[in-house]
Structure 1
Amino acid sequence: MSKELQKNYSIGEEIGHGRFGVVFRCHSLDSGEVYAVKSVDKSLLADPVDLDGAEREAKIGQIAAAGNPHVVQIHSAYEDEVSIHLVMDLCEGGDLFDRIAAGGGAPMREEEAAELMQALMEAAAELMQALMEAVALCHRRGVAHRDLKPDNIMFDGKGRLLLADFGSAECFGDGRAMRGIVGTPYYVAPEVLAGRDYGEKVDVWSAGVVLYIMLGGIPPFYGDTAAEIFQAVLRGNLRFPTRIFGRVSPSAKDLIRRMLCKDVSRRFSSEQVLRHPWLTSRSGTRCLLDLT
Structure 2
Amino acid sequence: HFITPNTQNNVLFKNESTDTDSTQFPLPVYPKLEIKRHAVTDDYKMSSHVLGLGVNGKVVECYNKKTGQKCALKILYECPKAQREVELHWRVSGGPHIVRILSLYENMYRGKKCQIIIMECMEGGELFSRIQARGDQAFTEREASEIMRDIGTAIQYLHNMNIAHRDIKPENLLYTNKEDTGVLKLTDFGFAKETSLHNLLQTPCYTPYYVAPEVLGPEKYDKSCDMWSLGVIMYILLCGFPPFYSNTGQAISPGMKRRIRMGQYEFPNPEWAEVSEEAKQLIHQLLKTDPNERMTIEQFMNHPWINQSMVVPQTPLHTTRVLTEDSEMWDEVKVSAGFCFFIRTDLEKVSITLAHQWILCSEWVPSELESNQLIKTSQ
Tell me which interval the TM-score lies in, with the shorter structure as reference length.
0.7 to 0.9
1:227 and 2:230 correspond: no
Report how far residue 31 of structure 1 moved. Answer: 4.2
Residue in 2 aligned with 1:262? Answer: 289
Q: How far apart in 2 are the matches of 1:231 and 1:222?
A: 11
- The answer to whether the 8 A contact 2:165-2:191 is kept is yes
Residue in 1 aligned with 2:271? Answer: 244
Aligned-partner residue type, residue 168 of structure 2: L
Q: How far apart in 1 are the matches of 2:204 and 2:138?
A: 30
- The structure, 1 or 2, with the larger RCO (C-alpha pairs under 8 Å, 6+ apart) is 2
Q: How far apart in 2 are the matches of 1:60 and 1:80?
A: 22
TM-score (norm 2): 0.65
Residue in 1 aligned with 2:144? Answer: 113
1:57 and 2:85 correspond: yes
Within a 5 Å distance, the mapping from 1:154-193 to structure 2 comes to: 154-157=174-177, 158-173=181-196, 175-193=198-216
1:214 and 2:237 correspond: yes
Gaps of 5+ in 1: 43-47, 130-139
Q: How far apart in 2 are the matches of 1:58 and 1:109?
A: 36
Name the SS for the 1:38 alignment partner: strand
- The answer to whether the 8 A contact 2:145-2:312 is kept is no
Q: How far apart in 2 are the matches of 1:284 and 1:57?
A: 38
Gaps of 5+ in 2: 1-36, 317-379
Report how far residue 146 of structure 1 moved. Answer: 0.1
Q: How far apart in 2 are the matches of 1:193 and 1:262?
A: 11
Q: How far apart in 2 are the matches of 1:9 and 1:191?
A: 43
Aligned length: 267
Residue in 1 aligned with 2:50? Answer: 15
Name the SS for the 1:264 alignment partner: coil
Report how far residue 21 of structure 1 moved. Answer: 4.1
Residue in 1 aligned with 2:28? Answer: none
Q: How far apart in 2 are the matches of 1:100 and 1:180?
A: 33
Distance 1:72 1:285, change over 3 A: closer
1:152 and 2:187 correspond: no
Distance 1:31 1:210, change over 3 A: same
Report how far residue 78 of structure 1 moved. Answer: 2.7
Name the SS for the 1:181 alignment partner: coil
Query: More helix per residue: 1 or 2?
Result: 1
Deviations 1:24-49 (Å, cap 9, x if unpaired)?
22222344432110234x4xxxxx9x
Distance 1:25 1:272, change over 3 A: same
- The answer to whether the 8 A contact 2:38-2:105 is kept is no
Q: Following TM superposition, where does structure 1 have runs of at least 4 consecutive aligned residues deviating by more than 6 angstroms?
A: none
Q: Rg: which structure is higher? A: 2
- The answer to whether the 8 A contact 1:152-1:165 is kept is yes
Within a 5 Å distance, the mapping from 1:71-86 to structure 2 comes to: 71-75=98-102, 76-82=104-110, 83-86=114-117
Residue in 1 aligned with 2:40? Answer: 5
TM-score (norm 1): 0.83
Q: What root-mean-square deviation, in Å, do the aligned CA atoms of Structure 1 and Structure 2 show?
A: 2.5
Residue in 2 aligned with 1:25? Answer: 61
Distance 1:285 1:272, change over 3 A: closer
- The answer to whether the 8 A contact 2:140-2:315 is kept is no
Report how far residue 289 of structure 1 moved. Answer: 4.6
Q: How far apart in 2 are the matches of 1:121 and 1:62?
A: 19
